[in-house]
Amino acid sequence: MYIILLFSLIVVSWIWMRRVKSLPEEERRSFLWKSGFIAVLLTTILLAATGRLHWLGAAITAVVPIFTFLFRWARRVLPLMRIFGGLKPRPSKFKTKTLTMDINFSTMEMNGYVKDGEYSGKSLSELTAQQLSDLSAYCKTNDKESYALLYGYMAVNGKTSDHAEENMSSANMNDLSEDEAYAILGLEKPSSKSEISKAHKSLIQKLHPDRGGSDYLAAKINAAKDKIS
């Protein structure tokens, strides 16, 4: 009898796992909640039918204090993990002909590397103000997209001149691949439409001019959303 029940449980679990993997991301969470509810309901009915329902009450009595402790512990520990970097959001990655840039829009930390030209192989943080100015002049002539990205880096780090920011919307943007679009939005491939929409909305809100945003970065993020939506 027990062997038959065990075998049936294995078969049902296998079918359930295949079903979960086949569902789109936006439907998976709802299915898991429904599955959990049905499992609890069937377990309760089975225990009641066999006269062992009192076991369920004892189990709940034992588990509740544990979950209470874990909940209180999580409320104290999670803020500390955020402070010490344990839960940093995934940065957005931008790639142009001349530069690669990682941007954490929550903190506006930017880390860039030069891929082409006189300073190839160096990080932007290594370059002096004069070298950044030279690189900016080079990009302005040879790579408008990199020039726009570099301007954003220099603006955030207070290394731009006092003149007004130029209109970056005219920068020649390369066609994005799907991988580049996911990297810009800080998402893993594949992601659901709701995840893409949430990531896009969050990044665009953080690109307000009062928060150090730029037209160029906003345009790239919009292009990334359009590519994979």
* Count of C-beta atoms within a 10 Å radius of residue 163: 6
Query: Do residue 77 and residue 100 come from a single domain?
Result: no
Domain that holds residue 49: 2-83
CA 201 to CA 215: how far, in whole Å?
15
Mean pLDDT by 10 residues, the chain (229 residues): 69 77 69 78 72 64 64 56 48 86 76 89 90 89 83 72 44 68 84 86 72 71 86
Last residue of a domain, one of 56, 83, 110: 83
Residues 79 and 143 in one domain: no
Domain boundary, last residue among 83, 109, 141 = 83
Provide the Cα torsion 106, 165, 177, 191; round to 10°.
Answer: 20
109-114 and 92-95: which strand pairing? unpaired
User: What's the pLDDT at 12?
Assistant: 74
CATH number at 181 reads: 1.10.287.110
> Residues 107, 55: one domain?
no
Instruction: Give pLDDT, residue 209.
Output: 55
Q: Is the dihedral of CA 159, 102, 183, 188 positive or negative?
A: negative
End of a domain among 83, 103, 137? Answer: 83
- Kindly state the helix (H) or strand (E) to which residue 94 belongs, with its residue range: strand 92-95
Q: Are residues 56 and 120 in the same domain?
A: no
Q: Are residues 146 and 65 in the same domain?
A: no
Q: Is the same domain home to 113 and 15? A: no
Q: What is the DSSP code (8-state) at residue 171?
A: S
Largest CA distance in the chain: 83
Task: Indicate whether 210 and 102 sit together in one domain.
Answer: yes
Same domain, 176 and 77: no
For residue 80, what are its two tokens? Answer: 């500390």
What domain count does the chain have?
A: 2
Q: What is the pLDDT of residue 25?
A: 61
Whether residue 145 is found in the same domain as residue 211: yes
* Burial of 10 per CB tally in 10 Å (0-12, 13-18, 19+): exposed
Residue 81 is predicted with a pLDDT of: 47
Residues 14 and 54 in one domain: yes
Same-domain status, 103 and 211? yes
Same domain, 107 and 64: no
